[in-house]
Amino acid sequence: MRIPFIAGNWKMYKTQAEAEAFANEFVKLYSGTDVRAAICAPFTDLRYLVDAFRGTGIGVGAQNVHYEDEGAFTGEISADMLSEIGVDFCIVGHSERRQYFAETNETVNLKVKKLLEKGIAPIMCVGESLEQRDSGELYDFVRTQLEEGLAGVEKDDLPKIVIAYEPIWAIGTGRTATPEQAEDMCAFIRNTLIEIYDEESADEVIIQYGGSVKPANATEIMNQVEIDGALVGGASLKAEDFMAIIDF
Ligand code: PGA
């Protein structure tokens, strides 16, 4: 049984003072829900959020990690640094990181494996551009992202990974994929995982949709069979909106 999982992606928003204000409000709203929730926040907010969410069931995620254990990598953060402060999740391969920070399937793969080794659950993002969708390349493109991003990941580790399908053209644009488009690709992703691994382990993987998810469209997205959750950017910045999505 896959438990619905809604994660917020704060991107480069919220100072610690702003994170505190959010947490105070959100912790009061969240109690009693049976949907899993997490906030993926800037590094500077993580320690505070782990403390603020302790005992609530709300998870905390980072948005990036380096794939080496340690070293002369100015400005980078290691998986040990994240796990020591109690971080549960880490987004990898977000399209913004692929576009602006040269993240590739190869570095995504190294990060996924490092996170698994250190006990942090990767939220691995995949998704096509509008040109790829229009030219019909979308399936091949996403399949390659999955094959290369998961290369060398053992079958037993697969259920620990969350896959987020985020069509690039739907991120921050207000243009959501239709529930049918989202369901179609999430089903394709699950079938690809079945081909690479097997039905049993692929069945356990949480597949999220991301791209302009908001309270008004959360229900129809979450009602799709192959969509187990959402990765929410803009609408995760307000506790009330994020809670409305969790309550889909
Ligand atoms: P959005 O962002 O909800 O603001 O479209 C989603 C994401 O980038 O994860």
pLDDT of 63 reads 98
Q: Tell how far the Cα of 75 is from the centroid of ligand 1, in angstroms.
A: 24
Q: Between β-strands 206-210 and 229-232, what pairing exists: parallel, antiparallel or unpaired? A: parallel
Q: Which of 176, 232, 245 to mutate to test the pocket of ligand 1 (most atoms within 8 A of CB)?
A: 232
User: Residue 107 half-sphere exposure, CB side, CA atoms within 13 Å?
Assistant: 15
Q: Output phi, psi for 126, to 5 deg.
A: -135, 165
Average pLDDT, the chain: 97
Q: Residues with beta carbon inside 6 Å of ligand 1?
A: 9, 166, 171-172, 210-213, 231-235
Query: Which secondary-structure segment (H or E) carries 189?
Result: helix 179-196
CA distance 227 to 209: 7
C-alpha 228 to ligand 1 mean position (Å): 16
Cα R_g (the chain), whole angstroms: 17
Q: What is the pLDDT of residue 121?
A: 98
pLDDT one-digit tens code per residue, 17-57: 999 999 999 999 997 678 999 999 999 999 999 999 999 99
DSSP 97-158: HHHHS---HHHHHHHHHHHHHTT-EEEEEE---HHHHHTT-HHHHHHHHHHHHTTT--GGGG
How far is ligand 1, taken at its centre, from the CA of residue 186, in Å?
17
Contact predicate 40/91, CB 8 Å: yes
β 162-165/121-126 pair status: parallel
Q: Which residues contact 177 (CB under 8 A, 6 or more apart)?
A: 167, 170, 185, 209, 211
One-letter identity of residue 152: G
8 CA → ligand 1 middle, Å: 9
pLDDT of 124 above 80: yes
CA distance 217 to 208: 14
> Is the per-residue pLDDT at 203 higher than 80?
yes
Pocket probe mutation, ligand 1, options 12, 94, 231, 238, max atoms within 8 Å of Cβ: 231
Q: Quick one: pLDDT at residue 218?
A: 97
Average pLDDT of the residues in 5-11: 98
Pairing mode, strands 229-232 and 5-9: parallel
Contacts of 228 (CB under 8 A, 6+ apart): 2, 3, 4, 5, 206, 207, 208
- For 214-222, the CB contacts below 8 A with 24+ separation are 214/241, 214/245, 215/241, 215/244, 215/245, 217/176, 218/244, 218/245, 218/248, 219/248, 220/179, 221/176, 221/179, 221/182, 221/248, 222/4, 222/248
Ligand 1 atom 3 nearest Cα: 233
Query: Among 9, 95, 129, which is best to mutate for testing ligand 1, by the most ligand atoms less than 8 A from CB?
Result: 9
82: CA distance to ligand 1 center in Å? 23
| DSSP code for 63 | S
Nearest residue (by CA) to ligand 1, atom 6, is 233
Reply yes or no on whether 94 is catalytic.
yes
In contact, 63 and 77? CB cutoff 8 Å = no
Q: Which residue has the tokens 């049976």?
A: 34
**Tens-digit pLDDT profile for residues 67-117:** 999 999 999 999 999 999 999 999 999 999 999 999 999 999 999 999 999
Structure tokens at 53: 């969410």
Any catalytic annotation for residue 166? yes
pLDDT of residue 173: 86
Q: What percent of the chain has pLDDT over 70?
A: 100
Under a CB-based contact definition with an 8 Å cutoff, are residues 16 and 45 in contact? Answer: yes
pLDDT at 32 (0 to 100):
67
Which ligand 1 atom sits nearest the alpha carbon of residue 96?
8
Ligand 1 atom 1: residue of nearest CA: 233
pLDDT tens digits, 129-160: 999 999 999 999 999 999 999 999 999 999 99
